[in-house]
Amino acid sequence: MKFVLVTLALAASVAAEVYFKETFDGQCLVGGAMDSVQAQGRLWRVQAVGWQDAKFYSRAAKFDKDFSNAGKTVVIQYTVKHEQGIDCGGGYVKVMAADANLEDFHGETPYNLMFGPDICGPTKKVHVIFNYKGKNHLIKKDIRCKDDVLTHLYTLILNPDNTYEVQIDGEKVESGDLETDWDMLPAKTIKDPDAKKPEDWDEREYIDDEADTKPADWEQPEHIADKDAKKPEDWDDEMDGEWEPPMIDNPEYKGEWKPKQIKNPAYKGKWIHPDIENPEYTPDDKLYLYESWGAIGFDLWQVKAGTIFNNVLVTDSIEEAKEHAAERFEPLREAEKEKKEAADKEEAAKMEAEEKKRKEEEEKKKSEEKEDDDDEEEKEEKHDEL
């Protein structure tokens, strides 16, 4: 039994295929086209969008071979670090067919899918966009992205049963099926265009009681003259005009009369427009399928440049993606966490010291001002004695 299990494990390992992997270990995504590659501890990072603000950037690379995801899972994974404290800019990746023209890679270049964070002002979301029959379809769910300055791992898993999963830092943040969460297909049902609400259909649950009558003493003015008011003694009719008492709210005023409501005996409930099967709907169990995968790239606008992309991986194995994250992302996350905690502690100590200094200077100033006031009082007392 053990031998069988080991054999199966080895077979699964062999079956797993990595179509693209880029960790920028001394190399750039597009030969020499990246702006800089810098060491970061034991890992390497790439400054993929340069340092010029308010600019479009595009970088892309071909896979070693074209592949189809027919009958298998595809995992897109990479790390993003908005080191500059981004206020507006993209951090998403586009995966394209093998025939994509990377010499002229831009916003209109067709792609299979677009995935990753996008931040601009209050908008902080993860895009998951699939191209289906030449049209790009945005996910209908709202997935919030990370907006701090640390490195984060974004993972998209696309399965051959038309399901998907989005992970951030290895944790699932959203999942579902393609037909439900995207409008790739027409609705299964539509409102029956031939159905109309019957003319005698009564949706009024309550109606006026025709037997109810308005009381004879109901009509009263809303405001009346104040009987207790008196004309001021200095009122001059010739100069001020004829005096009239001020108006006050009438305590007898009851408002507009309305007959009481009773149950409507003809009430049929709210009419519901019946649905019918949509003749334009055809199920598609291959929404996930792209016959050609062969390129990947970043096509971004950044108002404030400085985003770092790394650890780009395209594979058909979830386990491979996990192992890659454990090797590349987890050590970096722990190192960044320790450095941030140390930096936060140092900043807190600095602020505490500055606040202490400010209070000491304030107390010193008050003390000096008091001494000056005491000296002035002493001089005045001596002057008075003379």
111 is in an annotated binding site: yes
Phi first, then psi: give them for residue 371, nearest 5 degrees. Answer: -60, -40
In sequence order, the 6+-apart residues with CB closer than 8 A to the CB of 124 are: 117, 118, 144, 145, 147
299 is in an annotated binding site: yes
- Counts of helices then strands in the chain (DSSP H, E): 4, 21
In sequence order, the 6+-apart residues with CB closer than 8 A to the CB of 216 are: none
140 is in an annotated binding site: no
Among residues 314, 249, 246, 272, the alpha carbon closest in space to that of 72 is found at 314
Q: How far apart are CA 299 and CA 309, in angstroms?
A: 12
Instruction: Count other C-beta atoms under 10 Å from residue 50's C-beta.
Output: 16
Q: What angle do CA 27, 145, 307 make, to 5 degrees?
A: 30
Among residues 179, 189, 186, 90, the alpha carbon closest in space to that of 140 is found at 179
Instruction: Assess contact for 94 and 113: CB atoms under 8 A.
Output: yes
Amino acid at 87: D
Distances (CA, A) of 257 to 206, 220, 250, 254, 262: 17, 11, 16, 8, 16
288 is in an annotated binding site: no
164 is in an annotated binding site: no
Binding residue ranges for an alpha-D-glucoside: 92, 94, 111, 118, 299
Binding residue ranges: 92, 94, 111, 118, 299
